A = this chain, B = another copy of it.
Amino acid sequence: MSVETVDHLTSVGVTEMEKAEHTVKDLDASKLTIELTNTPRPVPELNSKETWSCRACSDHMVTVTWLEGKGWQAPKIVPYGPLTMMPTASCLHYATQCFEGMKVYRGFDGKLRLFRPDKNCQRMVISSTRVSLPAFDPVELEKLIKALMKVDGATVPWPDLSTGWNPSGGGVPGLKLLASKNDTRAWPGGFGYAKVGANYGPAFVAAMEGRKKGYDQILWLFGPDYQVTEAGASNFFVVWQSKEGTRELITAPLDDKIILDGVTRRSVLELARTRFVAKSAYLSDAIKELNIIERTYTIAEVEEAQKEGRLIEAFVSGTAYFITPVSAISVHDEEFPINMDAGHTGHYAGMLKEWLMEIKYGKVDHEWGVVVDED
């Protein structure tokens, strides 16, 4: 699948937002035209190397042209293929670009579902206008994504039930994170909250240095007190016993706009706030009540909790990484391990993952699992 907002603009990028107010209603999914490919490509085998490389694209894409003074033109679904643009295009020089990442799931009932697509579409408007690209009605974008799914979604396979329903996975390898030292991903007054290209390319050097040292992602710290922010490709959570003896789920706040307002992050918090509470049917011996807290916290607090045996688990969340436990963090060249319950995902992460999968695959009926009409 590919949904692209391509700007065929030159240096006038800077004047675009002046038009935004007048074009905001222009994106209109009802004007969609569809041109199907004559040469559909083979669908990669389930679990093949090709599938896992994440390089295969589906057969079609949505394109919408935006013209200065005219706004959004009729959207098109066309065969997936190269884009052409002039070398002076501002998206190539000035990073006037943004993107979104979503997955589509075929459920137990055979139906295709998107997970909270409204959130992605709303965020794309925020990202787009943050880099002076035009705004649009996010509801129309969601319609276009569903239209593309209707065309290309037939290739999405049914869930593999041959091994049973095991959403937490058995022995999921935990991620190892390398805490940033001198590099800073984002800054208050910057654009860390937006899904704009400018947040990604400049972070590759650190990510690659981390990989060379054997770490899966950078854990981005911020400021002289080394506040924990996010993992770059995902948000970050810890579960600990506070010094006062209460169990807490902690993650960085959105206030200063330096971390991405992740859809999975938001969903984790919403589920945790309703299910990890006193008298909840979801509590058990392993799953106790939690205080859910969005606040600024430092890596020193995490280290201290680990040293004092109060650190219960840590995990990342995101569309790409879903819910994945963290098994170790290296801070300033010293690595400390995090409990993963004997190689499995932590109890809380496991529960959250299961709940989210139940929604995504339609095992439960939930408004976050948005069915795509394939008729």
A positions within 8 Å CB-CB of B? 2, 4, 6, 10-11, 13-15, 17-18, 54-55, 57, 61, 80-88, 90-97, 99, 129-132, 180, 182-184, 187-191, 196-202, 204-205, 207-208, 211
> Smallest CB-CB separation from A61: which chain B residue?
B87
Asked if B198 and A197 make an inter-chain contact with CB atoms under 8 angstroms apart, the answer reads yes
> Smallest CB-CB separation from A90: which chain B residue?
B201
Residues of B within 8 A of A55 (CB): 10-11, 88
Asked if B197 and A191 make an inter-chain contact with CB atoms under 8 angstroms apart, the answer reads no
Residues of B within 8 A of A84 (CB): 82-84
Of B15, B54, B61, B131, the contact of A202 (CB 8 Å cutoff): B131
Question: Which 9 residue pairs spanning A and B have beta carbons closest together?
Answer: A95-B197, A184-B189, A198-B198, A132-B204, A94-B200, A187-B187, A131-B201, A95-B95, A95-B201
Contacts A14-B208, A208-B15 hold; do A91 and B94 have CB atoms under 8 A apart? Answer: no
Contacts A55-B10, A190-B184, A204-B132 hold; do A95 and B97 have CB atoms under 8 A apart? Answer: yes
Asked if A202 and B95 make an inter-chain contact with CB atoms under 8 angstroms apart, the answer reads yes
Residues of B within 8 A of A80 (CB): 87
Residues of B within 8 A of A99 (CB): 93
| Minimum C-beta distance from A184 to chain B (A) | 3
Q: A57-B88, A94-B200, A131-B205 are in contact. List 9 more A-B contacts (CB 8 A).
A: A14-B204, A92-B97, A95-B197, A131-B204, A132-B201, A180-B189, A184-B187, A187-B190, A190-B202
Q: How many identical subunits does the complex contain?
A: 2
Asked if B201 and A201 make an inter-chain contact with CB atoms under 8 angstroms apart, the answer reads no
List 8 A–B pairs whose Cβ atoms lie within 8 Å, in order of A's numbering.
Answer: A85-B85, A93-B97, A93-B200, A94-B200, A96-B201, A132-B201, A184-B190, A198-B202
| Minimum C-beta distance from A165 to chain B (A) | 30
> Smallest CB-CB separation from A212: which chain B residue?
B18
Asked if B93 and A204 make an inter-chain contact with CB atoms under 8 angstroms apart, the answer reads no
Residues of B within 8 A of A198 (CB): 95, 197-199, 201-202
A94→B92 CA distance, assembly (Å): 11
A184→B190 CA distance, assembly (Å): 5
A200→B191 CA distance, assembly (Å): 12
A271→B190 CA distance, assembly (Å): 35
Most chain B CB neighbours (cut-off 10 Å) among A15, A88, A197: A197
Contacts A14-B204, A14-B208, A198-B201 hold; do A83 and B87 have CB atoms under 8 A apart? Answer: yes
